[in-house]
Amino acid sequence: MTLTIKLIRENESDNTVFFDFTESGVTFKFHADVPKDINTEAEARAYLIAHQDEILLLLMQEAYPGADISEFEGDGVSTLDAIKAWVAAGHKNPDVLDDEGSVIERQEVNTHPASIALNDEIDAMLTIADAKLILKKLVAML
């Protein structure tokens, strides 16, 4: 699992962390609300890693909404493990077809259009590491 923190936004009652999360070779752009006292990149990373199974389950359920994981479920198998097994077995979201049955869109993973737009904006912004480097250079110039 790889985790890249993009931005931490303060809200009234909590903070929102925008991040990239790579699992099994697939990178998801996602965000999660975290407690208000989580303010730094290190704190956000620690929180997200501590809750990675919950976050990954949400990501996988969003990315593969039509996954029929029934054949992978069983005694002692979590929903997350069943979805991972479903993906590992080569299953994918169905292609979007037109009335004649031709492929209109290949849908590797499902992401809500509003999330795509928001994540594109976040990617265009400076990362926390970039901002820190710029601040260090500015301070050194003083």
Tell me how many domains the chain contains.
1
Helices (H), the chain: 41-50, 52-63, 79-88, 113-124, 128-141
> Three-state SS for 18?
strand
The tens digit of pLDDT for each residue in 97-135 reads: 777 777 665 555 555 555 555 566 656 655 666 666 667
Beta bridge partners of 115: none
Domain hosting residue 92, numbered range: 2-141
Nearest to 57 by CA among 15, 23, 14: 23
pLDDT at 103: 64
Q: Are 103 and 94 in contact (CB under 8 A)?
A: no
Taking 70 as the threshold, does the pLDDT of residue 142 lie above it? no
Helix (H) or strand (E) holding 101: none
Tell me the pLDDT band of 3, cut-offs 50, 70 and 90.
confident
pLDDT at 35: 95
| Rounded Cα–Cα distance for residues 29 and 25 (Å) | 13
pLDDT at 45: 92
The tens digit of pLDDT for each residue in 39-83 reads: 999 999 999 989 888 887 877 777 777 778 888 888 888 888 888
pTM higher than 0.95: no
pLDDT at 36: 95
pLDDT at 44: 93
